[in-house]
Amino acid sequence: MSYDDIAQQVTNQEKWTAFANDEVRPVAETARTLIQLRNRLSPPEPGETSLSDAIAEESRIRPFFLGGITEEGEVSDGSLAELTKQYFGVALNDPNRWVNAEREGLTGDDYVAVTTTETELFSFLQTVDEQLTGVLQHLDEVPPVVDDRVETVLDEPKSVADVIQQLLNGVLQLTANTCPFTFFAHTTETATARYLTEAYPSLHGDVNGVAGSLGLQKLFVPELADDEQDAAYTIWGHAEDDVLNRLSRLNQAVWIAFDDETARSVLSPFFAKVPNPQEDFIRKVKTELTDEDWAYPDYLPECAHPDRIPTRSASSTNDSRYRRDMDLTKAFIVEDGTITAEEVITGVNTSSVVHRRQELDESVSLLRYLDEVMPGVFLGTYNFETVEHQDRDTLTTGVRVYHDR
């Protein structure tokens, strides 16, 4: 699908409605089913509620805790009890004690408690639920109602594996790799109006005209003397919690979940080969940028990733960030539409971050720089941010463009 085809879809309200009902809703309902199931499995007082008391409230939950417990008190690989623990963080505190009690002719359910822990995969489920419910609500669609589906899983405990499989397959189809709406969201996180309208001709050169309906807002205005240039080089991005912002956050959550080594090991029973959509996307982007003969401009350094920029919040002078031999470009200082200097961090100690203004040998046009970095920013290889820079008594605007990974 071409960029123009994508733009034609995202500017068509009927396409959004079909997307919400045909693609978003099934995944949202699956995520909500699993979340409500976890709520049904979780006792009111984790760690203190015995399995007997939990079963007295809902007898159908018993297989989720005991399905796959061996005679040695181990939880067998691929069992229902293991799946319940890994995905929902709900399990017996001591399966071996249950086995021993049963072996002695006692009711094992009385001697074990149901515990809950927060797992990364359940946190991922919550993120999927939150973002997709937000997408539906923004598009004036009713949120998912899944009471009947939860009852079905409780009646047929082993079917939970099928529901998880549906969820995993569904979220993969909503990533920027395959979904045009999410691809548009990914490529509009930060981009100039000029580049957006070149990449997506169906916007007809007018980002302002579609910004409201698409949830785009101005992130940075260069404040030039020329109004047309000002409009062309305004950086647009997502309004918080609007539909594009939520699709972008969903995309990142899926990418991170399928890239994390621990999560991938838990996901492995559901795939012959666990996909890594983030790596796949990055590989395609590199190919596209290479085909376009694009590279980061060599007349300015890349800014340091925010994770590498030290702060005074580090707690120990042994922290590797506490040193004096640093040379990190934090941002470029912009004055009257021109990049005139760098803000450079040279060291950090227990009381302050040491930074200085370093003049460029030759000033660079901000517009030229934005034109040349925008292909990498548009596709997500680089990130663009604005920062405030305190230069003596004057507060100036800084911009930074840094590699995403």
Of 83-97, 99-113, 279-293, 338-352, the range with the lowest mean pLDDT is 338-352
pLDDT bracket for residue 389 (50, 70, 90): low
Considering Cα of 314, then 317, then 321, then 326, what sign does the dihedral take? positive
* pLDDT tens digits, 51-72: 999 999 999 999 999 999 999 9
Q: What local confidence, expressed as pLDDT, does residue 405 receive?
A: 62
Of 223-227, 249-253, 270-274, 382-386, the range with the lowest mean pLDDT is 223-227
Q: What local confidence, expressed as pLDDT, does residue 223 receive?
A: 86
Residue 22, Cβ density class (10 Å: 0-12 exposed, 13-18 middle, ≥19 buried):
exposed
Percent of the chain with pLDDT over 70: 93
In whole angstroms, what is the distance from residue 67 CA to residue 85 CA?
A: 11
Instruction: Kindly report the number of other CB atoms within 10 A of residue 73's CB atom.
Output: 15
CATH topology for 177-291? Arc Repressor Mutant, subunit A (1.10.10)
- Does pLDDT of 397 surpass 80? no
In whole angstroms, what is the distance from residue 89 CA to residue 119 CA?
A: 6
* Structural domain boundaries in the chain: 15-171, 177-291, 306-403
* pLDDT tens digits, 345-384: 887 766 677 878 899 999 999 999 999 999 999 999 999 9
Percent of the chain with pLDDT over 90: 74
In whole angstroms, what is the distance from residue 187 CA to residue 210 CA?
A: 15
Secondary structure (3-state) at 362: strand
Is the Cβ–Cβ distance between 128 and 171 less than 8 Å?
A: yes
pLDDT bracket for residue 161 (50, 70, 90): very high
* pLDDT tens digits, 133-157: 999 999 999 988 899 999 999 999 9
In whole angstroms, what is the distance from residue 387 CA to residue 390 CA?
A: 10
